[in-house]
Amino acid sequence: MPSPLSIRRVVLYKHGVGYFERRGKVTGSETAHLDFKARDMNDVLKSMTVLDLSGGSVSAVSYDSTKPLEQLLSEATIRIPEHGSLTALLGQVKGARVRARVGGGQVEGVIVGMESFPVVQGEASVIRPFLTLLLGGALRTFDVLELGELEFLDEAVRKDLEFYLATVMSSYKKDSKRLSILTAGEGTRELFVSYVLESPVWKTSYRILLDEARPPLLQGWALVDNTGDEDWVDVELSLIAGLPVSFVHDLYNPRYQRRPVVEVRSEAGVAPVIPEEALADAAYESEAEVADDGDFGSSGAAPSLSMMPMAAAPAPAFRKRSAIGGRGGMRETLEQSTAVKTVTKEVGDLFEYGVDRPVTVHRNQSALVPILHRPFEGRRVLLYNRATREKNPMACIEFKNTTGLTLEGGPVTVTEDETYVGEAMLDTLKPDDVRFVPYAVELSCVVSLEDHQDEGPVFRARINHGTLMVEFFHQRRLQYTVRNKAKRPQTLYVEHPRTGWELMKDAPAPAETTDGFWRFKRELAPGASDTLVVTERTRGVRQYHIGNLGLDEVAFFLDSRFIDARVAQTLRDVVALREKLSQLDRDTQRLSEEREQLFKDQERIRSNIDSLKSGASQRELVERFVTKLNAQEDRLETIARELERLEQERARLQADVNQRIQSLSYETEL
């Protein structure tokens, strides 16, 4: 059974949701049903708003449980098997009051049970079911197959049967969940329902017609997809450009909190406790009065909201209306056949395209909807970027958004003189934004490049903390030679990369500057060549540690005017001191090697002494060895004193060198 609440308005967003409005008529306390996919229930519960526009009220909104079918059916008091459903059902409802139509009359009674008896039919006997009813004080049996109608008179039995059948019915479409809106009121009333669902992102596609004699024409189409289970018939369609915040929050699945288990204790019975009566509370009484005055069913009440808030739904752009009521050549052929009167407006940082005519999109279908048909300010130019194509520029449209609308990004098909000439991608454009829209390679224009780099002279020298730093400029000269082979004049923009270098004074001024490029504008005559020379420079630094300089480097720096005579003399003094340090290091090395050799000789002599035996000749040899050892010990003591003196002298000279280097400070501009 289709829902009485038909879709009347659809608002699609760029971040994957859609806002839907439904309207329909309900009578009395009629319940309106809506079916949603299970995955959409969280969005529906988060965003649904329900209004009774005719003075009634919405008492509740109920929806299918998340329990499995088997568990739901196990909670029902009735079981209906696949086969023998009628006899099985009547056998389960013993004691239920029913009204049965038998032949031309009716009987009312209470079901006692079902029995099966053989019945002779011709020469055969068949088993047929019979229903036993208690009529007054008598039992009567009726052939079930002869009953024309059987009506359950007990409300509880009817509800159990309806619940069972509705649950089984919902299982046939496992992905569908039913939401029921319970209303209260009198007469026929109009019901309004709105909600947000996950929806495909709407897309844009453009056509540009170029004409040398007239301003270019822009035609825009929106691509919308209806992936739902219901047709959009004559709906009011709006398209929102922008990215409002939206998210998914699980409200559909039940949540359970673990609770502590308290064991039952066996205690003696106690007398019941009777709390004391509370004193009169004026605040409580006033709250009760307010609750009574706010009864949704009272006459003259304002249209009521359901308990479902619209907390996180993207706020759609409502037009001015009362109480959410109704809203009040090739170029010429295109203008006539696709006349567009799109109603547009700003909604905060968003932009809305409102289609001015009803739109129909059937389920599981998509549609192209015209949203724009306006001329704009633009012209055909060339744009050269070495990284895009080294030899040729791109034919572009210098597009200025004079349509007054925010244009969403999308593909563009370009035609010129009723001929397809290329395609491009259009970025999102705010009013009066200017973009280049490249759509083809311009083969009639050829570009060649010459690149030269060198180092310029040093312009600053500085000495600080023992380091000489000289600053100079790296210079780069890039020459673009452009040859226009076309028979018409053309305007060329050359995009030169901005890599942290600065333009030199002799370089031409760029017509435009972007984050990554300088754009230089050149006017090309038919069949002529043009040259653009871009010179740039960036600072370079070379560093020299003063402690490592020699006399040749000092002379070079002095000749190059990196340093003056005073600094040069200080550096010469440092070099002289470093030479003395080197001589001390050589002396220290020589004495250390002599000491090592003496140690080795002493080990050899002691070994020889230990190997000699007693005897007159051997005693003389031992005395000779001892005399030599004594002389070596004297020499070792002299070496030790000399090494200590050299170390002290070296420390003094090194401190002098360090002090001279660290105290030297100098800077000059060249």
Mean pLDDT (whole number) for 312-319: 40
> Residue 293 pLDDT more than 80?
no
**Highest mean pLDDT range out of 75-79, 181-185, 252-256, 477-481?**
477-481
Mean pLDDT (whole number) for 137-149: 84
Q: pTM of this prediction? A: 0.60
> Residue 493 pLDDT more than 80?
yes
Of 545, 561, 580, which one is at a domain's C-terminal end?
A: 545
CA gap 320, 264 in Å, rounded: 64
CA gap 416, 200 in Å, rounded: 33
> Residue 171 pLDDT more than 70?
no
pLDDT for 445? 95
Percent helix / strand / coil, the chain, rounded to 5: 25, 40, 35
314 vs 649, more confident: 649
CA gap 10, 452 in Å, rounded: 61
578 & 631 share domain: yes
pLDDT for 82? 65
> Residue 433 pLDDT more than 60?
yes
- Encode pLDDT of 221-230 as tens digits: 999 999 888 8
Q: Which of 260-264, 288-292, 557-561 has the lowest mean pLDDT?
A: 288-292
Q: What is the CATH number of the domain that holds 650?
A: 1.10.287
> Residue 211 pLDDT more than 60?
yes
Half-sphere exposure of 61 toward its Cβ, with a 13 Å CA cutoff? 22
DSSP string, 313-325: S----PPS-STT-
Residue 644 burial class via C-beta count within 10 angstroms: exposed 0-12, middle 13-18, buried 19 and up: exposed
Q: Which of 216-220, 306-310, 634-638 has the lowest mean pLDDT?
A: 306-310
pLDDT for 404? 86
Q: Which of 241-245, 409-413, 647-651 has the lowest mean pLDDT?
A: 241-245
Can you say how many angstroms the Cα of residue 21 is from the centroid of all Cα atoms in its chain? 27
pLDDT for 354? 83
450 & 560 share domain: no
Q: Which of 54-63, 562-571, 604-613, 626-635 has the lowest mean pLDDT?
A: 604-613
Q: Is residue 482 part of a domain?
A: yes
Of 545, 562, 580, which one is at a domain's C-terminal end?
A: 545
Tell me what percent of the residues of the chain surpass a pLDDT of 70: 81
> Residue 125 pLDDT more than 50?
yes
Of 132, 153, 174, which one is at a domain's C-terminal end?
A: 153
Mean pLDDT (whole number) for 282-309: 36
Q: Is residue 565 part of a domain?
A: yes
541 & 559 share domain: no
> Residue 95 pLDDT more than 80?
yes
Specify which residues 373 forms β-bridges with.
Answer: 219
Q: Is residue 508 part of a domain?
A: yes
Q: Is residue 429 part of a domain?
A: no
Q: Is residue 109 part of a domain?
A: yes
> Residue 477 pLDDT more than 90?
yes
526 & 503 share domain: yes
122: left (phi over 0), alpha (psi -120 to 50) or beta: left
500 & 590 share domain: no
> Residue 383 pLDDT more than 50?
yes
Residue 338 burial class via C-beta count within 10 angstroms: exposed 0-12, middle 13-18, buried 19 and up: middle
615 vs 472, more confident: 472
- Residue 315 pLDDT level (bands cut at 50, 70, 90): very low
Which tokens in the block code for residue 20? 């839907």
317 vs 381, more confident: 381
107 & 144 share domain: yes
Q: Which of 60-74, 368-382, 549-563, 653-667 has the lowest mean pLDDT?
A: 60-74
- Residue 175 pLDDT level (bands cut at 50, 70, 90): low
> Residue 664 pLDDT more than 70?
yes
562 & 507 share domain: no
- Residue 614 pLDDT level (bands cut at 50, 70, 90): low
pLDDT for 104? 77
Q: Max alpha carbon distance in the chain (Å)?
A: 163
584 & 513 share domain: no
Mean pLDDT (whole number) for 229-243: 86
502 & 555 share domain: no
What's the distance, Cα to Cα, between the start and end of the chain in Å?
A: 93
| Domain coverage including residue 557 | 549-669
Q: Which of 90-99, 293-302, 534-543 has the lowest mean pLDDT?
A: 293-302
Compute φ and ψ for 516, nearest 5 degrees: -115, -5
pLDDT for 84? 67
- Residue 164 pLDDT level (bands cut at 50, 70, 90): confident
Compute φ and ψ for 38, nearest 5 degrees: -60, -35
354 vs 254, more confident: 354
pLDDT for 304? 34
Average pLDDT, the chain: 81
pLDDT for 286? 37
CA gap 654, 648 in Å, rounded: 10
Specify which residues 209 forms β-bridges with.
Answer: 217, 415
- Residue 501 pLDDT level (bands cut at 50, 70, 90): very high
Q: Is residue 323 part of a domain?
A: no
User: Is residue 438 within 8 Å of residue 456, measured between CB atoms?
Assistant: no
> Residue 276 pLDDT more than 80?
no
Number of domains into which the chain is organized: 3
CA gap 422, 419 in Å, rounded: 9
- Residue 176 pLDDT level (bands cut at 50, 70, 90): confident
454 & 564 share domain: no
> Residue 310 pLDDT more than 60?
no
pLDDT for 287? 38
Mean pLDDT (whole number) for 117-138: 83
CA gap 492, 12 in Å, rounded: 40
530 & 557 share domain: no
Pairing between strand 467-484 and 445-464?
Answer: antiparallel
CA gap 571, 565 in Å, rounded: 10
554 & 665 share domain: yes
> Residue 270 pLDDT more than 70?
no
pLDDT for 75? 58
The closest of 500, 498, 496, 497 to 540, measured between CA atoms, is 500
Q: Is residue 261 part of a domain?
A: no
Q: Is residue 220 part of a domain?
A: no
> Residue 616 pLDDT more than 70?
no
279 vs 402, more confident: 402
CA gap 413, 368 in Å, rounded: 15
Helix (H, G, I), strand (E, B) or coil at 37: strand
pLDDT for 414? 93
